[in-house]
Amino acid sequence: MPADSVPDSVEANPFSPGFGRTPPRRRHPAHRGIQHIAGRTGLPLPFLGAGLLEMRYTLLADTKITFMQRCERYEMNPLSDVDSAVGLRLPIHGAGGDITAEALRAAAGFVGGSGHGPYRLQVLGHTMWRMAGAPENTIDTRAVEQSLPLAGSAVARSICVPAWQELSESAQPYLAAAGGGQLSPGELSERAAERTGLSARRTASIRHRLVLAGYLEQRPDGSVGLTDLVPPAVIRREAPEEHDHYAAASAPEGAAPASVSAYGGSLCREWMPRARAHCILPAGHSGRRRSRL
């Protein structure tokens, strides 16, 4: 069955938002766990919440918000390949579908280790389910390979680009400098200071915030580099002048320009009158155009 003819309904796709609302019997263990923690500590009313990394230098850094200071904090680690495989396999099997071992391994590799793994897992699972025509057809390696560029483009469009746009005018050049190669914190601050005119103290503060917010990571060798929150290809696309300035300074003489494939390549963007939308598939795709995943 062609992927385009598969109905995109919440009931059919286990990775669609709202699919399989958690039944009460499945929620009871979580409720009991919260009640146990609250009872053990003698608290009359517990709160359970989740937030983004930016909270570490905003809400959680404000000592006047005593409630937040008293909260017990827990940082979730990125999904491993094993976690990702389980997170893909269980919904697929639970909705009556099937996936080959090779396809599951390839899909889990795309999700695992990413800073935004849960979203990658959902968007890839949703796309490959439709590509394969599941549950009637087994999700195979071909369906996964066809889904990867679409999922990568969706992640860039929904997470990476907004994350870049949320940065201040002084933080964007600093992040662009980090994308120019592996640099020590001192070298990175020096490059950013030359470009922005900011003091070394100010650039050090920007680096600290970018690390806390998940844009930068301190590597074992002491250098500072980008995470996958805003990869170099997104900077190249969103701020070509900033990217080219630092790339030219870092690239060895005669080096070839970097490929744009890491961003997912250019999109088709053909207009579809009936859908009143542009095609979101990669340029040069085969088959019918699509306005959404």
- The pLDDT tens digits of the residues spanning 35-82 come to 777 777 777 777 777 776 667 767 777 888 888 788 777 777 888 899
The better pLDDT of the pair 166, 19 is held by 166
Gap between the terminal Cα atoms of the chain: 17
Summarize pLDDT for 206-242 with one digit per residue, the tens: 988 898 888 998 888 878 889 888 988 899 888 887 7
Q: What is the DSSP letter of 58?
A: T
Residue 10: how many other CB atoms lie within 10 Å:
12
Mean pLDDT for 7-11 is: 44
Q: Which of these, 183, 257, 176, lies nearest to 210 by C-alpha position? A: 176
Predicted local confidence at residue 204, as pLDDT:
86
- What average pLDDT does range 262-281 have in this prediction? 61
CA–CA gap between residue 180 and residue 184 (Å, rounded) = 12
Neighbours of 35 (CB within 10 A): 11
Can you say how many angstroms the Cα of residue 81 is from the centroid of all Cα atoms in its chain?
15
Residues in contact with 58: Cβ distance below 8 Å, sequence separation at least 6, in sequence order: none
What's the pLDDT score for residue 292? 57
CA separation for the pair 231, 9 (Å, rounded): 33
Higher pLDDT, residue 136 or 73: 136
- pLDDT of 9 reads 43
pLDDT at 29: 65
pTM: 0.67
pLDDT computed for residue 82 by the predictor: 93
Domains (range + CATH), the chain: 3-7+77-165 (1.10.8), 171-263 (1.10.10)
